[in-house]
Amino acid sequence: MSAPIVTFPDLPTQARRLIDLGVGRIAGISDADLLAAAVDAPDGTLLVPGPELIAPSALAPLLSRAGKPGFVVVDMTDLDDFAPIAGIDVPAGPFYTIDGVDRGDEMLNWSPDEALPAITGAGRTPLTVGEGIAWLLQQPDRLESNKCFMTIGSRLTKPNGKLDARTPAIWISGGTGRDGRDRKNAPKVGWCWAGNRHTWLGFASAAGRQALSAG
């Protein structure tokens, strides 16, 4: 797998972007603490609000495309119960960073079951749904028509210990069905079956994750 380099603004700029979007207000963290979290982070990485700070369902409405806010599909009320899969260690603390982010366009029309071993076999790690949202908060234009992505680093474990067959994904609403016409072209956090393929969905991944201090 050959991943193109995605460049990001410096971390203080990313922190200010999160402040402007309201992440600090929603999470109950001061602007000063949010900015402090980015001080020692290496350039070229993506600043990710950790799940212990703010849940994916609270981040999703901060997404924006075509002047419309993001949303979570109505049949995914359990989004925040999707946790990192085995082998993914999300750093503790309110923020961490990821590097080497790739949208996974070369795996368009693959199934999650096919994509996961290809990603991990290349020494990379699939993005969690929170990381995918964090990426699009900084770079909304990375969500393109027919080039959207799944975030298969997050899965839901059922009470019997088996994985739920749904895999989270982020794409663009067509304004049909229960989405509603007013949501056409809005960013959409939803799910797909682990064994199904979709021509418009790749698989976002990263080279790794790095811990940060609490600020």
pLDDT in tens, 55-91: 999 999 999 999 999 999 999 999 999 999 999 999 9
**What predicted TM-score, i.e. pTM, was given to this entire model?**
0.95
In a domain, 6, yes or no: no
Which residues, in sequence order, are CB contacts of 167 under 8 Å at separation 6+? 112, 150, 151, 152, 154, 155, 191, 192, 193, 194
Angle at 98 between CA 96 and CA 104, to 5 degrees: 145
In a domain, 137, yes or no: yes
The pLDDT score that the predictor gives to residue 42 is 77
Q: How many residues does the chain have?
A: 215
The pLDDT score that the predictor gives to residue 153 is 98
Per the listing, tokens 């599909």 go with: 73
Residues of the chain under the 70 pLDDT cut = 1-5, 213-215
In a domain, 129, yes or no: yes
Number of domains in the chain: 1
Query: How many whole angstroms separate alpha carbon 98 and alpha carbon 210?
Result: 6
Query: How many whole angstroms separate alpha carbon 177 and alpha carbon 157?
Result: 28
In a domain, 82, yes or no: yes
Do residues 151 and 48 lie in contact, with contact meaning Cβ atoms separated by under 8 Å? no
**Residue-range definition of the domain harbouring residue 107:** 11-211
In a domain, 106, yes or no: yes
Do residues 107 and 115 lie in contact, with contact meaning Cβ atoms separated by under 8 Å? yes
Query: How many whole angstroms separate alpha carbon 208 and alpha carbon 186?
Result: 29
Query: How many whole angstroms separate alpha carbon 34 and alpha carbon 24?
Result: 7
Query: How many whole angstroms separate alpha carbon 67 and alpha carbon 75?
Result: 24
Taking the CA atoms of residue 84, residue 89, residue 92 and residue 98 in that order, the dihedral angle to the nearest 10 degrees is: -90
In a domain, 80, yes or no: yes
In a domain, 113, yes or no: yes
In a domain, 4, yes or no: no
